[in-house]
Amino acid sequence: MGRTVAVVTGASSGIGAATVRRLAAEGFDVVAAARREERLAELAAATGCRALPLDVTDDASVRALADQVGGCSVLINNAGGAFGLDSVASANLDDWQRMYDVNVLGALRVTKALLPALVASGDGLIVNVTSTAAHIVYEGGAGYCAAKHAERAMSETLRLELSGQPVRVTEIAPGMVKTDEFSLVRFGGDRERADAVYAGVPGPLSADDIADCVAWVATRPWNVNIDSMIVRPRAQAAQHKVHRQI
C-alpha cells in the first residue's frame, strides 16, 4: 500500500513550505504546488516532495495539477494573501479582487478539481488555512476579512454538503504568524511597515507552529473531524489585544 498523497498549495514559502517539510517528515507523499518553481525545486531537493507548478487563479493551471497528481487523500488549501490595509472608504478594488481571486476562488478551484480524488480515496481530508480574520474584523482589514470569512463559509458549507461522504473538512485559522513574506506583501514591499506589525511582540507564531497543527489534523483517525482550530500566540489575547514589550 502506497504512502498517503497530500497536496499543499502556496508551498513555496511560509506556512506552505513549513507544511510540506512537516508532512514529508510524517511520511506523506507530498505534492508541493506554487507559482515559484525555483523555490519548489529547492524544497523538493530538501524534502523529497514532488514539485508541481500551480497558479490557483488560473483554471488551466489547476486542471493540469489535478491531472498530474492523480490520486489524492489530503488537500491543504494554503495559497492566499492580504493586499493593502485601506479603509472601506479608500478601498483599492484591485486589491480586493486579488484577495478574492487567491483566497476564495483559488481554494474553490483546487477543491473542485481534487474533490473526486479525495472522495475516491475513501479517507479524504481538506484543510483550509484561513485566518483569525475569518472570525473577527478589524479596521483596515475589510477586504482580507471579507475574503477569509468567505473561505470559512465555504469550509462549513462543504462539510454539510459532504455529509455521508468519506471526506473531512477542517479550517485552521492562524492569528499573528511572523513569516518572511506575509506582511511584506501586504505592504507592497515596505519593510519598515511590515516589521512594525511584530515590533515588541514576544513569541509571535512561526510557520512551523501552524505546520504542526496541520500535521496533527492530518494524522487523526478517519472518524475524527477537527471542524475549526483558532491558533494565536500567547501575546495575542484577541485580534485587537496584543501584548508588546517596548
Lowest mean per-residue pLDDT among 16-20, 132-136, 182-186, 229-233: 182-186
Among left, alpha and beta (phi > 0; psi -120 to 50; other), residue 77 is beta
The better pLDDT of the pair 239, 102 is held by 102
Distance CA 137, CA 240 (A): 9
The better pLDDT of the pair 59, 70 is held by 59
The better pLDDT of the pair 183, 94 is held by 94
Q: DSSP class of residue 181? A: S
Residue 243 lies in a domain: no
Q: Is the pLDDT of residue 48 over 80?
A: yes
Distance CA 12, CA 4 (A): 21
Q: What is the pLDDT of residues 173-228, one digit of tens each?
A: 999 999 886 777 777 887 888 788 889 999 999 999 999 999 999 999 999 999 99
Residue 34 lies in a domain: yes
Neighbouring CB atoms inside 10 A of 94's CB total 10
Nearest to residue 40, comparing CAs of 64, 7, 13?
13
Give catalytic status of residue 138 as yes or no: no
Residue 244 lies in a domain: no
Average pLDDT along the chain: 95
Residue 30 lies in a domain: yes
| Banded pLDDT at 126 (limits 50, 70, 90) | very high
| Banded pLDDT at 2 (limits 50, 70, 90) | low
CATH (domain of 102): 3.40.50.720
Neighbouring CB atoms inside 10 A of 37's CB total 14
DSSP letter string, 69-86: H-S-SEEEE---------
Lowest mean per-residue pLDDT among 14-18, 131-135, 187-191: 187-191
Nearest to residue 110, comparing CAs of 170, 53, 62?
62
DSSP reduced 3-state for 162 = coil
Domain that holds residue 142: 5-237
Residue 246 lies in a domain: no
Q: What is the pLDDT of residues 73-90, one digit of tens each?
A: 999 999 999 999 999 999
Tell me what pLDDT residue 1 has: 46
Pure H helices in 131-201: 142-161, 182-186, 191-196
Tell me what pLDDT residue 200 has: 92
Q: Give the number of domains in the chain.
A: 1
Distance CA 23, CA 212 (A): 9
Distance CA 192, CA 190 (A): 6
Residue 205 lies in a domain: yes
Residue 245 lies in a domain: no
